[in-house]
Structure 1
Amino acid sequence: MDAIIAKFFSSEEDELYVLDCMAYFMIFMAVCTFLTLLFENVPYGRYASSKYGFPVNVKFAWFVQELPAFVVPVCLLTLTSSARTSLRPNQLLLAMYFCHYVQRSLIYPFLIRGGKSTPFLSFILAFVFCVYNGYMQVRYLSHYAHYTADWIIHPCFILGSALWLVGWLVNIHSDHILRNLRKPGETGYKIPRGGLFEYVSGANFFGEITEWAGFALAGQSIHSTSFAVFTLIVLSSRAVAHHRWYLTKFEDYPKSRKALIPFVF
């Protein structure tokens, strides 16, 4: 794979420049997405619509669209040579990335119970994003990110790692609550209760946003920051939409709950 990548870039400086451009482009797309989401919800789940293409089975869609975020990085790490992967800060940041996507691509899709089909456009866009972001994050961390040996005891790394862990646990626990809202054979929507759902409507989104914010703080790169910004834009919009939907759908929905940030918003 080193030879294949070398055909596209004449030097490591050229590839790093492209990786930087990819990160800035992701931030640009985050801004465009923010403007779009002012008028339209992300079209999957309860907001799915046939105008965005034919429906794709939800389990199949989640598995296939998330899989590149795991497979592309694995290929990069196993089929290319890099000295950066021997550095402890790089190893820990890569571990954070893989912990999320092993769960999201290889475990989560097979735990889904029911759920609406995913429109084809949403499925394809998610697939492309996972290829794009998987390459950008892991190629940078495995080949170009340079940290001093004592970076792992720097306050930014410690706080970022703690935020990542808290966010990861909140995300997994919130998904568990959502999966178990319905008993076998039941359909329809219910009010989620327990965990962070007692305080916000988008507990699972809060968890994932916190994850990647911590990852960006620990990594201190434009690449991790762009991912955190994109995640914030998309998932905060979805949390607000869910909150409004719950308030409209259920007369007894807890009025004290916020959309995304406990006691604040």
Structure 2
Amino acid sequence: MTWYTGNAGYDTVLTIGLGIAALVIIGGLFMQSPYGRFGDAAGGIKLNPKLGWWLMEIPATVVFLVFFLSGPQRFEVVPLVLAAIWLMHYGNRGWFFPLSIRQVPGKQASFGVMVLGFGMVITAMHGYLNGAFFSHDYKHLYGTGWLTDPRFLIGLAIYLGGFALLISSESIVRNLRDKNNPGAAEYRIPYGGGFRFVTSPAYLGELIAWTGFALLTWSLAGVVILLITAGNLVPRALATHRWYREKFDDYPAGRRALIPGLL
């Protein structure tokens, strides 16, 4: 199967990735991934969230590096810049975020093994598709001129804006729990930053970031990440919004679920 890059192995995995994206979008219409506040919906063995998140995100870093470093363009300027953006994102998602979770003492584990297994497949696929694409430059895009191309510059601005919203929103939620007494209140209403407008600004930031990433890389690998992320996070944001409204009588009435003023 050679329809996008001419590399049969890469194009086959990309096709599978697009198929998985379609399934995630359809599945998201009927249920949310069972982790976090929806973790009780998962059956079977469950893990501590710190461990679950860390294990799930490891392939995004490790697999990416294996395939990036195997490519002939791995030490060229543009692939290195793209790799730096990738590693910055997954340095936060796969390393800082799990380690910074303030877990309620004694709380039952809520990260299902099924979620972990599926997540590891997805992050491994992401790592391969992007690592290989950057360092092989299959579409012959990534000469030094790419760094001044409007697609890269606009995409980078969008990505950094989304990433900043993601980081700030996660910080607000994390600091709702005291480091020394994380069990004082398991859930509170967050305020400030993106929470002035929506219930899930971290999800919005993630979606904005991956939109920018798809643009700045100008690749279907970026589109696959965006579609899978949207298929998971959009319905989850709607469910989270309903959950807060049901749990807190004083929840801000004007706050939307995901998109300010719209959704």
User: Unpaired runs of 5+ in structure 2?
Assistant: none
Deviation per residue, 1:25-59 (Å, 9 max, x gap): 22222222222222211111111136432111111
Question: 1:17: Cα distance to partner?
Answer: 2.8
Contact 1:20 1:223 in 2 (8 A): no
Does 1:23 find its partner at 2:18? no
Deviates more, 1:113-122 or 1:40-49: 113-122
Deviation per residue, 1:198-235 (Å, 9 max, x gap): 11111111111111110100111111111111111111
Deviates more, 1:140-149 or 1:54-63: 140-149
User: Unpaired runs of 5+ in structure 1?
Assistant: 1-12
For residue 52 of structure 1, the aligned residue among 43, 58, 62 is 43
Deviation per residue, 1:99-130 (Å, 9 max, x gap): 01112222211100116520111111111211
Contact 1:52 1:122 in 2 (8 A): no
Return closer, same or farther for 1:242/1:132 CA change in 2, 3 Å cut-off: same
Deviation per residue, 1:55-95 (Å, 9 max, x gap): 111111111111111112223344x2x33223333222221
The separation in 2 between residues aligned to 1:252 and 1:194, in whole angstroms, is 16
Return closer, same or farther for 1:51/1:101 CA change in 2, 3 Å cut-off: closer
For residue 189 of structure 1, the aligned residue among 187, 190, 210 is 187
The answer for the alignment partner of 2:214 in structure 1 is 216
For residue 105 of structure 1, the aligned residue among 94, 108, 112 is 94
Query: 2:199 is aligned with what amino acid?
Result: S
RMSD between superposed Cα atoms in Å: 1.8
Query: 1:91 is aligned with what amino acid?
Result: L
Query: 1:107 is aligned with what amino acid?
Result: F
Alignment of 1:169-248 (within 5 A): 169-183=164-178, 184=181, 185-248=183-246
Contact 1:20 1:222 in 2 (8 A): no
The answer for the alignment partner of 2:151 in structure 1 is 156
The answer for the alignment partner of 2:53 in structure 1 is 62
Contact 2:35 2:112 in 1 (8 A): yes
The answer for the alignment partner of 1:7 in structure 2 is none
Count of aligned pairs between the two proteins: 250
Contact 2:34 2:42 in 1 (8 A): no
TM-score, normalised via structure 2 length: 0.89
The separation in 1 between residues aligned to 2:55 and 2:257, in whole angstroms, is 29
Q: What is the SS of the residue equivalent to 2:184?
A: coil
The separation in 2 between residues aligned to 1:43 and 1:67, in whole angstroms, is 20
Query: 1:134 is aligned with what amino acid?
Result: G
Query: 2:34 is aligned with what amino acid?
Result: P
